[in-house]
Amino acid sequence: MSDVTYLGADRMPSPGAGLSFGIDIGGTGVKGAIVDLRTGDFVGERHRIETPQPATPEAVGRTVTEIVDHFGWTGPVGLTLPGVVKDGILRTAANIDDAWIDTDVRALFSSQLGGRGVTVLNDADAAGLAELRYGGGAHVEEGLVVLLTLGTGIGSAVMYNGTLIPNTEFGHIEVRGKIAEKRASAKVRKDNDWSFEKWAEKLSEVLRMYERLFSPDLFIAGGGISRKADKWIPHLTNSVPVVPAQLRNTAGIVGAAMAVADDL
């Protein structure tokens, strides 16, 4: 656990002292927390607000401001979005409102947060950074690690010798004529009411394709379904080892906090 004392809203810990702030923007919830970068732990509780509907950039921006204000945080903020983010601009939006495409999300969030520094990155990339430093990849210093977030879609983070190669979109690689995330995301399992065993078969096919294309050394499986990893990892039939993510639903926030701190 963190050795930083949570001071209460009137006396917030300030940036510096190894603290940073991350926000994970998802289709159902926007979640934020102060992160102690020495440990990867939250300082106090995270704060979650339902994603506003319609989830326009401006409406989500207001929710982001509400979360930051809740903590009285005055420093820079790292944020995640479920799409490709290049130079602060969101280029794709597979599972969020199309209104986001080509939005300068860095400028938008920065101006809504009073002009402070912000870093915006892909949600799976954030999870990958966090897992590699504090979680399931912490022991892997060399080689190619692929973290997959198995949720509504499939997100990916590719890390080579500890360095993130950002904005990979493994969920959109076609496997027998259908993109991977439409074949084997956690949502597809739920929608089809598949057993874990059956789903593991579908996921194995996707993983084998990734193996053929990228020859990874390790897969880290993230997303809510990684909590039940013992029910499906044993049924996988691909070759490369798959380990469950360890940070679970904190990884996006922690990775966002890491990203903004590293940019400074």
Contacts with ligand BGC by CB under 6 A lie at 82-84, 92, 94-95, 122-124, 149, 153, 155, 169, 171, 181
Helix (DSSP H) and strand (DSSP E) numbers for the chain: 8, 15
Closest to ligand BGC by CB, 92 vs 250, is: 92
The nearest distance, CB 156 to ligand BGC, in angstroms, is 7
Question: Helices 123-134 and 251-263 sit at what angle, rounded to 10 degrees?
Answer: 90
The nearest distance, CB 186 to ligand BGC, in angstroms, is 11
Closest to ligand BGC by CB, 162 vs 224, is: 224
Closest to ligand BGC by CB, 122 vs 246, is: 122
**Which residue spans within 8-84 are E strands per DSSP?**
19-25, 29-36, 41-42, 47-50, 77-81
Task: Supply 57's token pair.
Answer: 């950039």
Q: Which residue do the tokens 């979650």 mark?
A: 48
Closest to ligand BGC by CB, 36 vs 131, is: 131
CA atoms within 13 A on the CB side of 101: 7
β-strand 118-122 against 89-90: which pairing, if any?
Answer: unpaired
Q: Which residues contact 260 (CB under 8 A, 6 or more apart)?
A: 20, 21, 22, 76, 77, 78, 117, 118, 119
Closest to ligand BGC by CB, 113 vs 124, is: 124
Cα–Cα distance between 256 and 21 in angstroms, integer? 7
The nearest distance, CB 86 to ligand BGC, in angstroms, is 12
The nearest distance, CB 136 to ligand BGC, in angstroms, is 17
β-strand 242-244 against 174-175: which pairing, if any?
Answer: unpaired
The nearest distance, CB 180 to ligand BGC, in angstroms, is 10
Closest to ligand BGC by CB, 124 vs 200, is: 124
CB 6 within 8 A of CB 46: no
The nearest distance, CB 6 to ligand BGC, in angstroms, is 30
Closest to ligand BGC by CB, 83 vs 135, is: 83
The nearest distance, CB 258 to ligand BGC, in angstroms, is 17
Cα–Cα distance between 1 and 89 in angstroms, integer? 35
